[in-house]
Amino acid sequence: MSTVFILENQYGQYLNKQGEWLLPVAIKTLYSTVHKDEALNTLVENNSQNVTLRVKIIAVECDEKGRPILPERRDDFELLPGSQAAEENTEAEAGEQAVNDSQAVIFANEEATNKPYSIDSGLPTAAEILQRQQAEQASNINTLADINHRFNQRDESPPLPTDNLSEPALSDEQQAMLDRMLAQQNQLLADKDTDQD
């Protein structure tokens, strides 16, 4: 039996002769070479194409037909990005991080007040937070409407030059839609002004 060199990445995939990284069960034609320097050149080429790839050269024996005998499968490989297992792992880590963050807030509150955490600890409830967010959103909407109204009332601004601008012609349907939208906006602004008076 002879020894050949194959390439394996951090996900437990092997390089095939077409230059693709595949799991051992999907490989029909595995890349292999009897020269370690050729394997090293291929490793460098693959790393230059994908800098996140971590490739190692493995020396393996060949069977009686000259095909490389793959080493036994290990379980210490990284999860493939985008795989269902990787996404589940990421979601689990995010959930654990959220719990850890919540506990850190509780512990910080306990340290600051020298009191154990309780529902009545003075922290805002979910309803209070929601109410505060809705009030901020309403305030932002009012501010934007006011700015828009003031902008539309300005007469001192000079007209924009239109020498070099060519506007594309609108179809009748597009112009009608634009007119409806402007009329609705003006009506909303007028309603807003009457509500404030």
Give the pLDDT mean for 128-154: 76
Lowest pLDDT segment from 82-91, 149-158, 178-187: 82-91
Whole-angstrom distance, CA of residue 59 vs CA of residue 69: 10
Most confident range, picked from 35-39, 109-113, 164-168: 35-39
Asked if residue 69 lies in contact with residue 61, where contact means CB atoms within 8 angstroms, the answer is: yes
Whole-angstrom distance, CA of residue 45 vs CA of residue 32: 15
Look at phi and psi of residue 184 and say left if phi exceeds 0, alpha if psi is from -120 to 50, else beta. Answer: alpha
pTM of the model: 0.41
At 139, phi and psi to the nearest 5?
Answer: -65, -40
Token pair 């805002």 is found at 124
**Per-domain residue ranges of the chain:** 3-61, 80-123, 125-152+180-197
**pLDDT at 116 (0 to 100):** 54
Asked if residue 35 lies in contact with residue 28, where contact means CB atoms within 8 angstroms, the answer is: no
**pLDDT at 6 (0 to 100):** 92
Give the pLDDT mean for 139-143: 80
Most confident range, picked from 74-78, 88-92, 164-168, 186-190: 186-190
Mean pLDDT of the chain: 75
